[in-house]
Structure 1
Amino acid sequence: MLTSSTLFILLVMAYGLAIIAGGIFVLDSERRQALQNRIQRAGNWMLTMFCGIGDGVQRTSGSTGRMLLESFRRPLVFILHHRLHAAASMGLLALPIILVLFFLSSRSLPGYQEMPQTTDPVVLALLRGEQLAPPPPMPPEAFITPEVAAIRQDLGGASREWLALDADFRQRLLIVFQLMEKKGYPMALLEGYRSPERQTYLASLGPQVTNAGAFQSYHQFGLAADSAFVRNDKLVISEKDPWAMQGYRLYGELAESVGLVWGGRWKMMDFGHVELRRQGTIQRK
Protein backbone atom coordinates (compact mmCIF):
# COMPACT_ATOMS: atom_id res chain seq x y z
CA MET A 1 0.00 0.00 0.00
CA LEU A 2 1.31 3.42 -0.96
CA THR A 3 1.97 5.76 1.93
CA SER A 4 1.29 9.48 1.65
CA SER A 5 5.02 10.25 1.48
CA THR A 6 5.58 7.66 -1.30
CA LEU A 7 2.65 9.02 -3.26
CA PHE A 8 4.02 12.54 -2.87
CA ILE A 9 7.43 11.46 -4.20
CA LEU A 10 5.82 9.72 -7.18
CA LEU A 11 3.77 12.83 -7.97
CA VAL A 12 6.87 15.02 -7.78
CA MET A 13 8.71 12.68 -10.14
CA ALA A 14 5.79 12.65 -12.57
CA TYR A 15 5.58 16.43 -12.59
CA GLY A 16 9.34 16.66 -12.99
CA LEU A 17 9.26 14.43 -16.06
CA ALA A 18 6.41 16.50 -17.48
CA ILE A 19 8.41 19.69 -16.98
CA ILE A 20 11.50 18.17 -18.64
CA ALA A 21 9.44 16.95 -21.59
CA GLY A 22 7.87 20.39 -21.92
CA GLY A 23 11.30 21.98 -21.92
CA ILE A 24 12.43 19.69 -24.73
CA PHE A 25 9.40 20.67 -26.85
CA VAL A 26 10.18 24.37 -26.72
CA LEU A 27 13.79 23.91 -27.84
CA ASP A 28 14.70 24.24 -31.49
CA SER A 29 16.21 21.25 -33.32
CA GLU A 30 19.82 22.40 -32.86
CA ARG A 31 19.54 22.91 -29.11
CA ARG A 32 17.51 19.73 -28.73
CA GLN A 33 20.27 17.75 -30.49
CA ALA A 34 22.90 19.39 -28.29
CA LEU A 35 20.93 18.41 -25.19
CA GLN A 36 20.64 14.82 -26.38
CA ASN A 37 24.41 14.71 -27.01
CA ARG A 38 25.10 15.97 -23.49
CA ILE A 39 22.77 13.36 -22.02
CA GLN A 40 24.53 10.67 -24.04
CA ARG A 41 27.99 11.80 -22.90
CA ALA A 42 26.84 11.95 -19.28
CA GLY A 43 25.39 8.46 -19.57
CA ASN A 44 28.61 7.06 -21.02
CA TRP A 45 30.67 8.73 -18.29
CA MET A 46 28.46 7.34 -15.52
CA LEU A 47 28.55 3.85 -17.03
CA THR A 48 32.35 4.00 -17.23
CA MET A 49 32.62 5.11 -13.61
CA PHE A 50 30.33 2.46 -12.20
CA CYS A 51 31.22 -0.49 -14.41
CA GLY A 52 34.97 -0.45 -13.66
CA ILE A 53 38.09 -0.43 -15.82
CA GLY A 54 39.13 -3.12 -18.33
CA ASP A 55 38.44 -4.04 -21.87
CA GLY A 56 36.03 -6.80 -21.06
CA VAL A 57 34.16 -4.65 -18.56
CA GLN A 58 34.18 -1.72 -20.99
CA ARG A 59 32.69 -3.89 -23.71
CA THR A 60 29.99 -4.99 -21.31
CA SER A 61 29.40 -1.42 -20.14
CA GLY A 62 29.32 -0.20 -23.73
CA SER A 63 26.68 -2.77 -24.57
CA THR A 64 24.72 -1.85 -21.45
CA GLY A 65 25.07 1.84 -22.29
CA ARG A 66 23.71 1.31 -25.78
CA MET A 67 20.77 -0.60 -24.34
CA LEU A 68 20.05 2.18 -21.85
CA LEU A 69 20.36 4.88 -24.48
CA GLU A 70 18.07 2.92 -26.77
CA SER A 71 15.52 2.59 -23.96
CA PHE A 72 15.59 6.38 -23.49
CA ARG A 73 15.63 7.15 -27.21
CA ARG A 74 12.47 5.28 -28.09
CA PRO A 75 10.18 7.15 -25.65
CA LEU A 76 11.72 10.48 -26.67
CA VAL A 77 11.13 9.75 -30.35
CA PHE A 78 7.57 8.72 -29.56
CA ILE A 79 6.96 11.95 -27.62
CA LEU A 80 8.48 14.08 -30.38
CA HIS A 81 6.21 12.45 -32.93
CA HIS A 82 3.13 13.01 -30.76
CA ARG A 83 3.69 16.54 -29.53
CA LEU A 84 0.04 17.55 -29.40
CA HIS A 85 -0.95 14.54 -27.32
CA ALA A 86 2.01 15.06 -24.98
CA ALA A 87 1.21 18.76 -24.61
CA ALA A 88 -2.40 17.91 -23.77
CA SER A 89 -1.20 15.41 -21.16
CA MET A 90 1.02 18.03 -19.55
CA GLY A 91 -1.90 20.44 -19.51
CA LEU A 92 -3.99 17.87 -17.64
CA LEU A 93 -1.14 17.36 -15.17
CA ALA A 94 -0.87 21.09 -14.56
CA LEU A 95 -4.64 21.66 -14.31
CA PRO A 96 -5.02 20.58 -10.63
CA ILE A 97 -2.23 22.93 -9.52
CA ILE A 98 -3.70 25.82 -11.52
CA LEU A 99 -7.16 25.26 -10.03
CA VAL A 100 -5.80 25.04 -6.47
CA LEU A 101 -3.80 28.26 -6.88
CA PHE A 102 -6.81 30.01 -8.41
CA PHE A 103 -9.21 29.11 -5.61
CA LEU A 104 -6.69 29.69 -2.81
CA SER A 105 -6.14 33.23 -4.06
CA SER A 106 -9.69 34.17 -3.07
CA ARG A 107 -10.48 31.78 -0.24
CA SER A 108 -8.92 30.72 3.01
CA LEU A 109 -8.55 27.10 3.97
CA PRO A 110 -11.33 25.81 6.26
CA GLY A 111 -10.33 25.53 9.87
CA TYR A 112 -7.89 28.43 9.73
CA GLN A 113 -8.68 31.74 11.32
CA GLU A 114 -8.65 34.88 9.30
CA MET A 115 -5.50 36.84 9.91
CA PRO A 116 -5.62 40.59 10.31
CA GLN A 117 -5.14 42.55 7.12
CA THR A 118 -2.85 45.23 8.47
CA THR A 119 0.57 46.62 7.67
CA ASP A 120 0.80 48.79 10.79
CA PRO A 121 4.15 47.81 12.37
CA VAL A 122 2.88 48.59 15.87
CA VAL A 123 -0.16 46.32 15.49
CA LEU A 124 1.88 43.52 13.95
CA ALA A 125 4.47 43.74 16.72
CA LEU A 126 1.77 43.55 19.38
CA LEU A 127 0.10 40.57 17.71
CA ARG A 128 3.40 38.71 17.69
CA GLY A 129 4.44 39.82 21.14
CA GLU A 130 3.71 38.72 24.67
CA GLN A 131 0.20 38.32 26.04
CA LEU A 132 -1.21 41.62 27.29
CA ALA A 133 -2.81 42.09 30.70
CA PRO A 134 -6.40 43.35 30.99
CA PRO A 135 -6.94 46.88 32.34
CA PRO A 136 -7.91 47.30 36.01
CA PRO A 137 -11.65 46.59 36.44
CA MET A 138 -14.04 49.39 37.24
CA PRO A 139 -16.17 49.09 40.39
CA PRO A 140 -19.47 47.19 39.86
CA GLU A 141 -21.55 50.25 40.73
CA ALA A 142 -20.14 52.06 37.69
CA PHE A 143 -22.22 49.78 35.45
CA ILE A 144 -25.59 50.36 37.13
CA THR A 145 -25.80 54.14 37.35
CA PRO A 146 -28.99 55.80 36.04
CA GLU A 147 -27.05 57.26 33.10
CA VAL A 148 -25.77 53.82 32.08
CA ALA A 149 -29.10 52.07 32.69
CA ALA A 150 -30.83 54.54 30.38
CA ILE A 151 -28.69 53.24 27.51
CA ARG A 152 -27.77 49.67 28.48
CA GLN A 153 -30.08 47.71 30.73
CA ASP A 154 -29.10 44.80 32.96
CA LEU A 155 -25.36 45.35 32.82
CA GLY A 156 -25.24 44.38 36.47
CA GLY A 157 -25.64 40.73 35.46
CA ALA A 158 -23.17 40.85 32.58
CA SER A 159 -19.88 38.95 32.65
CA ARG A 160 -16.74 41.06 32.40
CA GLU A 161 -14.27 38.23 32.99
CA TRP A 162 -11.47 38.56 30.47
CA LEU A 163 -10.37 34.96 31.02
CA ALA A 164 -13.80 33.76 29.86
CA LEU A 165 -13.02 35.12 26.40
CA ASP A 166 -11.31 33.13 23.67
CA ALA A 167 -7.53 33.58 24.00
CA ASP A 168 -6.99 34.80 20.44
CA PHE A 169 -9.93 37.19 20.59
CA ARG A 170 -8.85 38.44 24.02
CA GLN A 171 -5.35 39.29 22.76
CA ARG A 172 -6.69 41.20 19.76
CA LEU A 173 -9.17 43.14 21.87
CA LEU A 174 -6.51 44.04 24.43
CA ILE A 175 -4.31 45.32 21.62
CA VAL A 176 -7.14 47.62 20.53
CA PHE A 177 -7.69 48.75 24.13
CA GLN A 178 -4.00 49.58 24.49
CA LEU A 179 -3.89 51.54 21.24
CA MET A 180 -7.09 53.41 22.13
CA GLU A 181 -5.70 54.44 25.51
CA LYS A 182 -2.58 55.83 23.82
CA LYS A 183 -4.87 57.96 21.66
CA GLY A 184 -6.71 59.36 24.69
CA TYR A 185 -9.62 56.91 24.83
CA PRO A 186 -9.35 54.55 27.82
CA MET A 187 -11.94 51.78 27.52
CA ALA A 188 -13.83 49.35 29.73
CA LEU A 189 -15.40 45.99 28.97
CA LEU A 190 -19.18 46.12 29.36
CA GLU A 191 -19.89 42.48 28.56
CA GLY A 192 -17.86 39.59 27.19
CA TYR A 193 -18.97 35.98 27.51
CA ARG A 194 -22.75 35.61 27.63
CA SER A 195 -24.54 32.46 28.74
CA PRO A 196 -27.29 30.95 26.54
CA GLU A 197 -29.84 31.76 29.24
CA ARG A 198 -28.85 35.42 29.32
CA GLN A 199 -28.88 35.55 25.52
CA THR A 200 -32.42 34.17 25.47
CA TYR A 201 -33.48 36.72 28.07
CA LEU A 202 -31.99 39.65 26.14
CA ALA A 203 -33.63 38.44 22.92
CA SER A 204 -36.99 38.44 24.71
CA LEU A 205 -36.60 42.19 25.34
CA GLY A 206 -37.07 42.87 21.64
CA PRO A 207 -35.08 43.63 18.49
CA GLN A 208 -33.93 46.97 19.92
CA VAL A 209 -31.72 44.91 22.26
CA THR A 210 -30.77 41.92 20.08
CA ASN A 211 -32.18 39.70 17.36
CA ALA A 212 -29.93 36.77 18.25
CA GLY A 213 -31.19 33.90 20.35
CA ALA A 214 -29.16 31.36 22.28
CA PHE A 215 -26.10 30.08 20.38
CA GLN A 216 -26.78 32.57 17.59
CA SER A 217 -24.33 35.10 19.02
CA TYR A 218 -20.55 34.97 19.23
CA HIS A 219 -20.91 36.06 22.86
CA GLN A 220 -21.77 32.44 23.76
CA PHE A 221 -18.36 31.33 22.51
CA GLY A 222 -16.26 34.08 24.06
CA LEU A 223 -15.68 35.60 20.63
CA ALA A 224 -17.56 38.89 21.09
CA ALA A 225 -17.46 41.85 23.44
CA ASP A 226 -19.26 45.11 24.10
CA SER A 227 -17.13 48.01 25.29
CA ALA A 228 -17.39 51.70 26.12
CA PHE A 229 -15.15 54.63 26.99
CA VAL A 230 -14.05 55.92 30.38
CA ARG A 231 -13.94 59.64 31.04
CA ASN A 232 -13.44 61.13 34.50
CA ASP A 233 -13.89 57.65 36.02
CA LYS A 234 -17.35 57.31 34.44
CA LEU A 235 -18.60 55.22 31.54
CA VAL A 236 -19.45 57.04 28.32
CA ILE A 237 -21.60 54.83 26.08
CA SER A 238 -23.85 57.05 23.99
CA GLU A 239 -22.65 57.89 20.49
CA LYS A 240 -24.58 61.16 20.78
CA ASP A 241 -21.57 62.49 22.66
CA PRO A 242 -19.28 63.89 19.90
CA TRP A 243 -16.18 62.81 21.79
CA ALA A 244 -17.53 59.26 22.08
CA MET A 245 -18.60 59.13 18.43
CA GLN A 246 -15.13 60.11 17.32
CA GLY A 247 -13.76 57.41 19.61
CA TYR A 248 -16.09 54.77 18.18
CA ARG A 249 -14.90 55.52 14.65
CA LEU A 250 -11.31 55.11 15.79
CA TYR A 251 -12.25 51.98 17.73
CA GLY A 252 -13.83 50.41 14.65
CA GLU A 253 -10.83 51.23 12.50
CA LEU A 254 -8.37 49.69 14.96
CA ALA A 255 -10.58 46.64 15.59
CA GLU A 256 -10.79 45.91 11.88
CA SER A 257 -7.02 46.33 11.55
CA VAL A 258 -6.50 43.33 13.87
CA GLY A 259 -9.07 41.16 12.11
CA LEU A 260 -12.20 41.85 14.18
CA VAL A 261 -15.68 42.65 12.89
CA TRP A 262 -17.06 45.99 14.10
CA GLY A 263 -20.77 46.36 14.81
CA GLY A 264 -20.71 50.00 13.74
CA ARG A 265 -21.02 48.91 10.11
CA TRP A 266 -24.19 46.89 10.61
CA LYS A 267 -27.68 47.98 9.56
CA MET A 268 -28.62 48.02 13.25
CA MET A 269 -25.44 49.79 14.35
CA ASP A 270 -23.76 48.61 17.55
CA PHE A 271 -20.75 50.89 17.92
CA GLY A 272 -19.25 49.25 21.01
CA HIS A 273 -19.51 45.69 19.69
CA VAL A 274 -16.68 43.68 18.10
CA GLU A 275 -16.40 39.98 17.35
CA LEU A 276 -14.01 37.43 15.89
CA ARG A 277 -15.90 35.31 13.39
CA ARG A 278 -15.11 31.65 12.88
CA GLN A 279 -16.81 29.56 10.25
CA GLY A 280 -19.30 27.03 11.60
CA THR A 281 -19.32 28.46 15.14
CA ILE A 282 -22.81 29.91 15.51
CA GLN A 283 -26.12 28.33 14.53
CA ARG A 284 -28.14 30.10 11.88
CA LYS A 285 -31.86 30.57 12.15
Structure 2
Amino acid sequence: MNGVRVEVVVFLLAVVLYFLLACLISWLVLFPAGRAYVLERAAQVESAMQRRFAGLKRRQTAGAEVLLQSGAASAQGLAAFVKRHYLLCLAGLLLLSLPPTLAFLASGKNMLGAYDVSTREVNTQVAGLLQGEELVPPVALPPTVFATAEIERERPMLVSASRNWTLMNQEYTQRLLMVFKIMKEQHGYDMAILEGYRSPERQNMLAGMGGNVTNAAAFQSWHQYGLAADCAFLRDGKLVISEKDPWAMRGYELYGQVAESVGLTWGGRWKMMDFGHTELRVPGVMKQKG
Protein backbone atom coordinates (compact mmCIF):
# COMPACT_ATOMS: atom_id res chain seq x y z
CA MET A 1 0.00 0.00 0.00
CA ASN A 2 2.84 2.41 0.88
CA GLY A 3 4.57 1.55 -2.38
CA VAL A 4 1.47 2.51 -4.34
CA ARG A 5 1.26 5.83 -2.50
CA VAL A 6 4.90 6.61 -3.25
CA GLU A 7 4.37 5.84 -6.93
CA VAL A 8 1.30 8.08 -7.03
CA VAL A 9 3.25 10.93 -5.37
CA VAL A 10 6.09 10.51 -7.85
CA PHE A 11 3.61 10.53 -10.71
CA LEU A 12 1.95 13.72 -9.43
CA LEU A 13 5.34 15.41 -8.99
CA ALA A 14 6.23 14.50 -12.56
CA VAL A 15 2.93 15.99 -13.78
CA VAL A 16 3.59 19.21 -11.83
CA LEU A 17 7.12 19.40 -13.25
CA TYR A 18 5.79 18.94 -16.76
CA PHE A 19 3.17 21.65 -16.16
CA LEU A 20 5.77 24.14 -14.89
CA LEU A 21 8.06 23.33 -17.79
CA ALA A 22 5.20 23.86 -20.26
CA CYS A 23 4.41 27.21 -18.63
CA LEU A 24 8.06 28.28 -18.91
CA ILE A 25 8.26 27.34 -22.59
CA SER A 26 4.94 29.09 -23.31
CA TRP A 27 6.22 32.19 -21.55
CA LEU A 28 9.37 32.20 -23.68
CA VAL A 29 7.48 31.58 -26.93
CA LEU A 30 4.54 33.93 -26.44
CA PHE A 31 6.05 36.90 -24.58
CA PRO A 32 8.87 38.92 -26.23
CA ALA A 33 9.72 40.55 -22.90
CA GLY A 34 10.35 37.12 -21.44
CA ARG A 35 12.68 36.16 -24.27
CA ALA A 36 14.50 39.49 -23.93
CA TYR A 37 14.95 38.92 -20.21
CA VAL A 38 16.28 35.41 -20.72
CA LEU A 39 18.68 36.53 -23.46
CA GLU A 40 19.93 39.39 -21.28
CA ARG A 41 20.58 37.04 -18.39
CA ALA A 42 22.27 34.57 -20.74
CA ALA A 43 24.51 37.34 -22.07
CA GLN A 44 25.49 38.32 -18.52
CA VAL A 45 26.30 34.73 -17.66
CA GLU A 46 28.24 34.35 -20.88
CA SER A 47 30.25 37.49 -20.14
CA ALA A 48 31.07 36.26 -16.66
CA MET A 49 32.09 32.87 -17.99
CA GLN A 50 34.25 34.49 -20.65
CA ARG A 51 36.09 36.48 -17.99
CA ARG A 52 36.68 33.31 -16.01
CA PHE A 53 37.88 31.46 -19.05
CA ALA A 54 40.20 34.37 -19.87
CA GLY A 55 41.76 34.08 -16.44
CA LEU A 56 42.15 30.36 -16.81
CA LYS A 57 43.72 30.73 -20.22
CA ARG A 58 46.36 33.06 -18.79
CA ARG A 59 47.26 30.46 -16.20
CA GLN A 60 47.31 27.54 -18.56
CA THR A 61 50.55 26.01 -19.59
CA ALA A 62 51.75 26.09 -23.13
CA GLY A 63 51.03 22.35 -23.45
CA ALA A 64 47.44 22.77 -22.39
CA GLU A 65 46.96 25.62 -24.86
CA VAL A 66 48.27 23.46 -27.69
CA LEU A 67 45.95 20.63 -26.66
CA LEU A 68 42.92 22.91 -26.61
CA GLN A 69 43.76 24.49 -29.94
CA SER A 70 44.36 21.19 -31.72
CA GLY A 71 41.47 19.08 -30.47
CA ALA A 72 38.50 21.21 -29.40
CA ALA A 73 37.49 23.47 -32.30
CA SER A 74 34.14 21.75 -32.78
CA ALA A 75 33.66 21.29 -29.05
CA GLN A 76 34.19 25.02 -28.50
CA GLY A 77 31.47 25.80 -31.04
CA LEU A 78 29.04 23.46 -29.30
CA ALA A 79 29.95 24.83 -25.89
CA ALA A 80 29.46 28.38 -27.11
CA PHE A 81 26.00 27.49 -28.40
CA VAL A 82 25.07 25.82 -25.12
CA LYS A 83 26.34 28.81 -23.16
CA ARG A 84 24.30 31.22 -25.24
CA HIS A 85 21.11 29.13 -25.03
CA TYR A 86 21.57 27.09 -21.90
CA LEU A 87 18.00 27.56 -20.68
CA LEU A 88 16.49 26.32 -23.93
CA CYS A 89 18.93 23.41 -23.98
CA LEU A 90 17.98 22.51 -20.42
CA ALA A 91 14.28 22.72 -21.27
CA GLY A 92 14.78 20.48 -24.30
CA LEU A 93 16.69 17.96 -22.22
CA LEU A 94 13.91 17.86 -19.64
CA LEU A 95 11.26 17.45 -22.31
CA LEU A 96 13.18 14.56 -23.86
CA SER A 97 13.71 12.83 -20.55
CA LEU A 98 10.19 13.33 -19.17
CA PRO A 99 8.24 10.84 -21.37
CA PRO A 100 10.61 7.91 -20.65
CA THR A 101 10.52 8.79 -16.96
CA LEU A 102 6.71 8.84 -16.89
CA ALA A 103 6.57 5.60 -18.88
CA PHE A 104 8.89 3.96 -16.39
CA LEU A 105 6.82 5.15 -13.44
CA ALA A 106 3.57 4.08 -15.10
CA SER A 107 4.92 0.60 -15.77
CA GLY A 108 4.65 -0.24 -12.09
CA LYS A 109 2.02 -2.90 -11.41
CA ASN A 110 -1.34 -1.48 -10.30
CA MET A 111 -0.04 2.04 -9.78
CA LEU A 112 -3.62 3.26 -10.22
CA GLY A 113 -5.28 -0.11 -9.93
CA ALA A 114 -8.60 1.30 -8.78
CA TYR A 115 -9.27 2.52 -12.33
CA ASP A 116 -8.24 -0.61 -14.21
CA VAL A 117 -11.74 -2.04 -14.72
CA SER A 118 -14.78 -0.05 -15.82
CA THR A 119 -17.96 -0.99 -13.96
CA ARG A 120 -20.30 1.18 -16.10
CA GLU A 121 -23.30 -0.79 -17.26
CA VAL A 122 -23.77 -0.88 -21.02
CA ASN A 123 -27.32 -0.67 -22.38
CA THR A 124 -27.17 -3.24 -25.17
CA GLN A 125 -30.45 -2.03 -26.66
CA VAL A 126 -29.21 1.52 -27.06
CA ALA A 127 -25.96 0.15 -28.45
CA GLY A 128 -28.00 -1.79 -31.01
CA LEU A 129 -29.79 1.41 -32.00
CA LEU A 130 -26.49 3.18 -32.57
CA GLN A 131 -25.26 0.26 -34.64
CA GLY A 132 -28.19 0.58 -37.02
CA GLU A 133 -30.77 -1.90 -35.66
CA GLU A 134 -33.96 -1.37 -37.69
CA LEU A 135 -37.16 -1.41 -35.61
CA VAL A 136 -40.67 -1.79 -37.03
CA PRO A 137 -43.65 0.30 -35.82
CA PRO A 138 -46.34 -1.58 -33.89
CA VAL A 139 -49.70 -2.52 -35.38
CA ALA A 140 -52.06 0.47 -35.50
CA LEU A 141 -54.72 0.53 -32.79
CA PRO A 142 -58.40 0.84 -33.79
CA PRO A 143 -59.75 4.43 -33.78
CA THR A 144 -62.24 3.57 -31.04
CA VAL A 145 -59.36 3.34 -28.55
CA PHE A 146 -58.83 7.10 -28.96
CA ALA A 147 -62.51 8.10 -29.00
CA THR A 148 -63.62 7.48 -25.41
CA ALA A 149 -65.08 10.26 -23.25
CA GLU A 150 -62.14 10.04 -20.83
CA ILE A 151 -59.62 10.50 -23.65
CA GLU A 152 -61.62 13.43 -25.05
CA ARG A 153 -61.43 15.19 -21.66
CA GLU A 154 -57.68 14.66 -21.41
CA ARG A 155 -56.80 15.28 -25.08
CA PRO A 156 -59.46 17.13 -27.13
CA MET A 157 -59.69 16.16 -30.81
CA LEU A 158 -57.27 13.28 -30.36
CA VAL A 159 -59.40 10.99 -32.49
CA SER A 160 -58.51 13.04 -35.59
CA ALA A 161 -54.79 13.16 -34.87
CA SER A 162 -52.24 11.50 -37.18
CA ARG A 163 -50.53 8.36 -35.90
CA ASN A 164 -48.89 7.51 -39.21
CA TRP A 165 -45.28 6.54 -38.48
CA THR A 166 -44.27 7.00 -42.11
CA LEU A 167 -44.94 10.75 -41.90
CA MET A 168 -42.34 11.13 -39.18
CA ASN A 169 -38.58 11.61 -39.41
CA GLN A 170 -36.83 8.23 -39.76
CA GLU A 171 -34.13 8.92 -37.18
CA TYR A 172 -36.65 10.14 -34.62
CA THR A 173 -38.91 7.17 -35.38
CA GLN A 174 -36.13 4.66 -34.66
CA ARG A 175 -35.25 6.34 -31.38
CA LEU A 176 -38.88 6.43 -30.28
CA LEU A 177 -39.39 2.78 -31.21
CA MET A 178 -36.31 1.92 -29.16
CA VAL A 179 -37.91 3.73 -26.22
CA PHE A 180 -41.08 1.68 -26.70
CA LYS A 181 -39.02 -1.52 -26.75
CA ILE A 182 -37.09 -0.69 -23.59
CA MET A 183 -40.25 0.37 -21.75
CA LYS A 184 -41.87 -2.97 -22.59
CA GLU A 185 -38.92 -5.29 -22.00
CA GLN A 186 -37.36 -3.62 -18.96
CA HIS A 187 -40.29 -1.92 -17.24
CA GLY A 188 -43.40 -3.82 -18.44
CA TYR A 189 -45.19 -0.84 -20.01
CA ASP A 190 -46.97 -1.17 -23.36
CA MET A 191 -46.92 2.17 -25.16
CA ALA A 192 -48.98 3.75 -27.91
CA ILE A 193 -48.49 6.85 -30.01
CA LEU A 194 -51.26 9.45 -29.60
CA GLU A 195 -50.10 11.92 -32.22
CA GLY A 196 -47.05 12.20 -34.44
CA TYR A 197 -46.93 14.52 -37.45
CA ARG A 198 -49.21 17.53 -37.04
CA SER A 199 -50.15 19.81 -39.93
CA PRO A 200 -49.72 23.60 -39.59
CA GLU A 201 -53.50 24.05 -39.79
CA ARG A 202 -54.11 21.61 -36.94
CA GLN A 203 -51.35 23.25 -34.91
CA ASN A 204 -53.00 26.67 -35.22
CA MET A 205 -56.38 25.18 -34.38
CA LEU A 206 -55.03 23.56 -31.20
CA ALA A 207 -53.21 26.76 -30.24
CA GLY A 208 -56.50 28.62 -30.55
CA MET A 209 -58.02 26.35 -27.90
CA GLY A 210 -55.83 27.90 -25.21
CA GLY A 211 -52.49 27.56 -23.48
CA ASN A 212 -53.63 24.47 -21.60
CA VAL A 213 -53.55 22.63 -24.96
CA THR A 214 -50.46 24.18 -26.60
CA ASN A 215 -48.63 27.49 -26.72
CA ALA A 216 -47.02 26.79 -30.11
CA ALA A 217 -48.43 28.12 -33.37
CA ALA A 218 -47.76 26.65 -36.82
CA PHE A 219 -44.08 25.83 -37.46
CA GLN A 220 -43.23 26.57 -33.83
CA SER A 221 -43.65 22.91 -32.92
CA TRP A 222 -41.44 19.95 -33.84
CA HIS A 223 -44.63 18.08 -34.74
CA GLN A 224 -44.73 19.97 -38.06
CA TYR A 225 -41.37 18.47 -39.00
CA GLY A 226 -42.13 14.90 -37.96
CA LEU A 227 -39.65 15.20 -35.10
CA ALA A 228 -42.06 14.99 -32.16
CA ALA A 229 -44.76 12.69 -30.84
CA ASP A 230 -47.14 12.41 -27.89
CA CYS A 231 -47.39 8.96 -26.34
CA ALA A 232 -49.22 7.19 -23.52
CA PHE A 233 -49.65 3.72 -22.00
CA LEU A 234 -51.89 0.76 -22.72
CA ARG A 235 -53.33 -1.20 -19.81
CA ASP A 236 -55.74 -4.04 -20.49
CA GLY A 237 -56.27 -2.70 -24.01
CA LYS A 238 -57.21 0.82 -22.84
CA LEU A 239 -55.26 4.05 -23.05
CA VAL A 240 -54.11 5.51 -19.73
CA ILE A 241 -53.15 9.18 -20.13
CA SER A 242 -53.92 10.93 -16.84
CA GLU A 243 -50.95 11.70 -14.56
CA LYS A 244 -53.32 11.24 -11.62
CA ASP A 245 -53.00 7.49 -12.10
CA PRO A 246 -49.95 6.43 -9.98
CA TRP A 247 -49.13 3.59 -12.37
CA ALA A 248 -49.16 5.98 -15.33
CA MET A 249 -47.17 8.64 -13.48
CA ARG A 250 -44.46 6.10 -12.67
CA GLY A 251 -44.48 5.13 -16.32
CA TYR A 252 -44.01 8.74 -17.42
CA GLU A 253 -40.99 9.08 -15.15
CA LEU A 254 -39.43 5.95 -16.63
CA TYR A 255 -40.41 7.08 -20.11
CA GLY A 256 -38.58 10.37 -19.63
CA GLN A 257 -35.44 8.65 -18.40
CA VAL A 258 -35.37 6.20 -21.30
CA ALA A 259 -36.16 8.87 -23.89
CA GLU A 260 -33.31 11.08 -22.68
CA SER A 261 -30.95 8.09 -22.69
CA VAL A 262 -31.40 7.78 -26.49
CA GLY A 263 -30.94 11.51 -27.09
CA LEU A 264 -34.55 12.76 -27.12
CA THR A 265 -35.91 15.85 -25.36
CA TRP A 266 -38.67 15.03 -22.83
CA GLY A 267 -41.55 17.43 -22.22
CA GLY A 268 -41.78 16.42 -18.58
CA ARG A 269 -38.96 18.84 -17.75
CA TRP A 270 -40.71 21.90 -19.17
CA LYS A 271 -42.43 24.63 -17.15
CA MET A 272 -45.68 23.57 -18.81
CA MET A 273 -45.06 19.86 -18.31
CA ASP A 274 -46.04 17.52 -21.13
CA PHE A 275 -45.14 14.06 -19.80
CA GLY A 276 -46.04 12.10 -22.92
CA HIS A 277 -44.18 14.38 -25.35
CA THR A 278 -40.72 13.73 -26.80
CA GLU A 279 -38.89 15.41 -29.66
CA LEU A 280 -35.61 15.24 -31.53
CA ARG A 281 -34.17 18.72 -31.96
CA VAL A 282 -32.25 18.85 -35.23
CA PRO A 283 -30.25 22.09 -35.73
CA GLY A 284 -31.58 24.36 -38.47
CA VAL A 285 -34.90 22.59 -38.94
CA MET A 286 -37.01 25.23 -37.18
CA LYS A 287 -35.82 27.85 -39.71
CA GLN A 288 -37.52 25.97 -42.54
CA LYS A 289 -41.03 27.09 -43.45
CA GLY A 290 -43.67 25.04 -45.22
Q: How does the TM-score come out when normalised to structure 2? A: 0.57
Alpha-carbon distance in structure 1 between the residues aligned to 2:148 and 2:130: 35
1:81 offset after TM fit, Å? 10
Q: How many angstroms apart in 2 are the aligned matches of 1:213 and 1:282?
A: 12
2:262 is matched with which residue: 258, 265, 271?
Answer: 258
- What amino acid is aligned across from residue 213 of structure 1 in structure 2? A
For 1:188 and 1:157, how far apart are their aligned partners in 2?
Answer: 15
- Give 1 or 2 for the bigger CA radius of gyration: 2
How do 1:64-103 and structure 2 match up within 5 A?
Answer: none
Q: What is aligned with 1:171?
A: 174
Cα distance between partner residues in 2 of 1:213 and 1:278: 19
**Residue 153 (structure 2) aligns with:** 150
Structure 1 unaligned segments of length 5 or more: list them: 1-21, 26-72, 88-117
For residue 142 of structure 1, give the secondary structure of its aligned residue in structure 2. Answer: helix
> Which of residues 224, 235, 242 in structure 1 aligns to 2:239?
235
**What amino acid does structure 1 have at the position aligned with 2:206?**
L
1:278 and 2:288 are equivalent in the alignment = no
- Which residue of 189, 192, 195 maps to 2:196? 192
- The answer as to whether partners of 2:125 and 2:178 remain within 8 angstroms in 1 is no
Distance in structure 1 (CA, Å) of the matches to 2:86 and 2:213 = 74
> Aligned with 1:282: secondary structure?
helix
Are the equivalent residues in 1 in contact too, given 2:267–2:275 (CA < 8 A)? yes
Q: Is 1:213 the counterpart of 2:207 in the alignment?
A: no
2:229 maps to a residue whose letter is: A
Deviation at 1:279, TM superposition (A): 2.0
Deviation at 1:235, TM superposition (A): 0.5
- Report the counterpart of residue 162 of structure 1 in structure 2: 165
Secondary structure of 1:238's partner? coil
Amino acid at match of 1:249: E
Percentage identity across paired residues of the two chains: 57
Cα deviation per residue 1:104-135 (whole Å; 9 max; x = unaligned)? xxxxxxxxxxxxxx952331123324210111
The amino acid of 1:223's aligned partner reads L
- Rounded to whole Å, the distance in 2 between the matches of 1:244 and 1:188 is 13
**What is the DSSP-based 3-state SS (H/G/I as helix, E as strand, rest coil) of the residue aligned with 2:285?**
coil
Structure 1 residues 170-218: Cα deviation after superposition (integer angstroms, max 9, x where no partner): 0000000011111211011000001111111111111100110110000
Q: Is the partner of 2:278 in helix, strand or coil?
A: strand
The 2-side partners of 1:243 and 1:258 are apart by 23
Q: Determine the C-alpha separation between the residues in 2 that align with 1:119 and 1:258.
A: 13
3-state DSSP of counterpart to 1:269: coil
Q: Among 124, 130, 133, which residue is 1:130 paired with? A: 133
Q: Confirm or deny: 8 A CA contact 1:263 1:274 kept in the other structure.
A: yes
Confirm or deny: 8 A CA contact 1:127 1:172 kept in the other structure: no
2:252 to 239, 248, 256: 248
2:111 corresponding residue in structure 1: none
Q: Determine the structure 1 residue equivalent to 2:117.
A: none
Deviation, 1:80, is: 5.9
Verify the 8 A CA contact 2:137 2:165 in the aligned structure 1.
Answer: yes
